[in-house]
Amino acid sequence: MFKIVSKRPLNEANTVVEFVIEAPLVARKAAPGQFIIFRLDEYGERVPITIAAADREAGTVTIMVQPVGQTTKMLALMSAGDFIADFVGPLGRPTHMEGLKRVCVIGGGVGNAIAFPVAKGMHDRGIEVDMIAGFRSRDVVILEEEMRAAVSNLYITTDDGSYGEAGFNTVKLKALLDAGEKYDEVMCVGPTRMMQRVCEATKEYGVKTIVSMNPIMLDGTGMCGACRLTVGGETKFACVDGPDFDGHLVDWDSVIKRSKFYADEQAAAMDHICRITGGVRQHG
Ligand code: FES
């Protein structure tokens, strides 16, 4: 069993919640870009979540969760002192950082919770990092102080213009590239469509672009095939070959098609949790 050490909302709208979990063996080996899979109990679904931070001395791992599915909503109802059944990791390959001098990290929505530890990890290794953090609106902005402290230039964008620069983060990226900013690489984390748009934009400028993929996962060991995707014409498994891939080689149409496979099951599960909690049904 794994103890929840602390829990805190990361924004006013409570759309992202941070949990610190006691998991010393995971903390000892975790690196930026890797993830864990947790289950609330022995019958629960397996949910992959990126490791936001690891404290080797305290033996804790930090995760940031958007409570939109059945299991993440149930986790959001738990408190410090409660226990979850499984917390397995670190899984996946750490984000590649060797040889990089200047990188633009771009996050969309809750994807910023994944982009932030990567940006910080790069910054800690002496890489110059610009970060573009895109959000829907001011009330869902997360980690602003932490991001600002960890990068050279932070650009916040909101779709509705209620905070930072108005417009999509992809527009800001194009503006920076148009202005002559040079990056060894763009690292991108967020909704599938956003990552696809970023890749289309960077292709024009010939900038290598790494995307952090987050498909449905089951075993997390490369055995079940649930997380497969096509990259450069080859079948890859996000859990063991990724989660980071060259975004210019990803077959985005098949990624989008596969992401809809379990929509009916997820909707049925949400009906179930809403009857338990009286909550409002959400999708995505
Ligand atoms: S989650 Fe089963 S192969 Fe990746």
Distance (angstroms) between ligand 1 centre and the Cα of 228 equals 7
Answer with the residue of higher pLDDT: 197 or 283.
Answer: 197
Question: Is 63 in contact with 19 (CB distance < 8 Å)?
Answer: yes
Q: Count the Cβ atoms, other than its own, within 10 Å of residue 69.
A: 19
CATH 3.40.50.80 placement within the chain: 102-259
In this prediction, residues 170-176 reach a mean pLDDT of 95
Q: How far, in Å, CA of 75 to CA of 1, rounded?
A: 14
Mutate to test the pocket of ligand 1, among 224, 229, 241 (most ligand atoms within 8 A of CB): 224
Using a 10 angstrom Cβ sphere, with 0-12 exposed, 13-18 middle and 19 or more buried, the burial of residue 92 is buried
281 band by pLDDT with thresholds 50, 70 and 90: very low
Which of ligand 1's atoms lies nearest the C-alpha of 223? Answer: 3
264 band by pLDDT with thresholds 50, 70 and 90: low
Mutate to test the pocket of ligand 1, among 91, 93, 213, 218 (most ligand atoms within 8 A of CB): 218
Residue 272 reports pLDDT greater than 80: no
Distance (angstroms) between ligand 1 centre and the Cα of 224 equals 5
Per-residue burial over 21-58, b = 16 or more CB atoms within 10 Å of its CB, e = otherwise: bbbeebbeebebbbbbbbbbeeebbbbbbbbbbbeeee
Residue 217's pLDDT is 84
Structure tokens at 132: 């573009």
Residue 223 reports pLDDT greater than 60: yes
Residue 263's pLDDT is 60
* 55-93 pLDDT tens trace: 999 999 999 999 988 899 999 999 999 999 999 999 999
Residue 186's pLDDT is 97
Q: How far, in Å, CA of 38 to CA of 71, rounded?
A: 10
Smallest CA-to-CA distance from 86 within 30, 53, 42 is with 42
Smallest CA-to-CA distance from 76 within 86, 67, 63 is with 67
Distance (angstroms) between ligand 1 centre and the Cα of 278 equals 33
**DSSP string computed for 123-164:** HHTT-EEEEEEEESSGGG---HHHHHHHSSEEEEEETTSSSS
Average pLDDT for the chain: 89
13 band by pLDDT with thresholds 50, 70 and 90: confident
Question: Is 122 in contact with 97 (CB distance < 8 Å)?
Answer: yes
Which CATH number applies to 102-259: 3.40.50.80, 3.90.950.20, 3.40.30.10, 3.40.80.10?
3.40.50.80
112 band by pLDDT with thresholds 50, 70 and 90: very high
CATH 2.40.30.10 placement within the chain: 2-91
Helix (H) or strand (E) holding 176: helix 169-178
* 136-166 pLDDT tens trace: 999 999 999 999 999 999 999 999 999 999 9
Residue 25 reports pLDDT greater than 70: yes
Distance (angstroms) between ligand 1 centre and the Cα of 245 equals 16
Q: Is 251 helix (H, G, I), strand (E, B) or coil?
A: coil
Residue 220's pLDDT is 87
Residue 273's pLDDT is 46
Answer with the residue of higher pLDDT: 278 or 244.
Answer: 244
Question: Is 23 in contact with 60 (CB distance < 8 Å)?
Answer: yes
Smallest CA-to-CA distance from 80 within 157, 7, 168 is with 7
* Percent of all residues in the chain with a pLDDT value above 90, rounded to a whole number: 76
What one-character DSSP code corresponds to residue 167?
S
In this structure, what are the phi and psi dihedrals at residue 132, rounded to the nearest 5 degrees?
A: -115, 115
The top-scoring range by mean pLDDT among 15-19, 215-219, 257-261, 275-279 is 15-19
Residue 266's pLDDT is 55
Query: Number of helices and strands (H, E) in the chain?
Result: 9, 16
- Using CB distances shorter than 6 Å, the residues near ligand 1 are 217-220, 222-227, 237, 239
Sign of the Cα torsion 15, 41, 38, 60 reads positive
119 band by pLDDT with thresholds 50, 70 and 90: very high
Closest protein CA for atom 3 of ligand 1: 222
In this prediction, residues 89-105 reach a mean pLDDT of 95
- The CATH T-level fold of domain 2-91 is Elongation Factor Tu (Ef-tu); domain 3 (2.40.30)
